[in-house]
Amino acid sequence: MTTSEILPGEYVPSPSKFVRDQVEQYERSGGREANTLMDTGMPVVILTTRGRSSGKVRKSALMRVEHDGEYAVIGSQGGAPSDPAWVGNLRAAPDEVALQDGPEPFAARAREVEGEERRLWWERAVAAYPPYADYQEKTDRLIPVFVISRAS
């Protein structure tokens, strides 16, 4: 199954050339290429969402944080004062999500986690990508954490 079968509609690539190129290369190669954050060796996944205003399909390469078949996506934006656009997309359409970790994307749903569950996923995220801890220190906002699960 392809991402467009999971989440049909007009795909609008990222305005960032780096993100556009990484998503295209990752998808074209079934996750064999462009599957890390630049040259760090740290793995990424491709998150596909429905734009909350436009209704168009959007894709982002995000750090891979996986545990027991579920994934966390972290709205850090490098510690910027505002959330990345995909956070609003997940909040508006949590059931219109696809995630690709390797050759095949899958239909998914997102839920924002809080309290003890957030703390646990945050620890997993920082273990997978230590700069998240620095990003939280740089911003006054609580960085949102979403858990992505396969749709049933």
Task: Look at residues 59, 46, 58, 63 and name the one whose alpha carbon lies nearest to residue 131.
Answer: 63
Torsion sign, CA atoms 133, 138, 140, 144: negative
pLDDT tens column, 7-23: 999 999 999 999 999 99
0.75 surpassed by pTM: yes
What phi and psi values does residue 79 have, to the nearest 5 degrees?
A: 85, 15
8 A C-beta contact, residue 121 and residue 113: yes
Look at residue 39 in the predicted model and tell me its pLDDT.
80
pLDDT tens column, 19-65: 999 999 999 999 999 999 988 889 999 999 999 999 999 999 999 99
Look at residue 30 in the predicted model and tell me its pLDDT.
95
Look at residue 88 in the predicted model and tell me its pLDDT.
98
Determine the Cα–Cα distance for residues 149 and 152; give it in Å rounded to an integer. 9
Q: How confident is the model at residue 143 (pLDDT cuts 50, 70, 90)?
A: very high
Does the pLDDT of residue 84 top 90, yes or no?
yes
Domain 3-150 has CATH 3.40.50.150: no
Does the pLDDT of residue 1 top 90, yes or no?
no
* Domain chopping of the chain, boundaries: 3-150
What's the chain's Rg over C-alpha atoms?
A: 14
Instruction: Could you list the beta-strand ranges (E) of the chain.
Output: 44-50, 57-63, 65-67, 70-74, 97-100, 105-112, 145-150
Determine the Cα–Cα distance for residues 88 and 83; give it in Å rounded to an integer. 8
Q: What percent of the chain has pLDDT over 90?
A: 96
Determine the Cα–Cα distance for residues 19 and 48; give it in Å rounded to an integer. 13
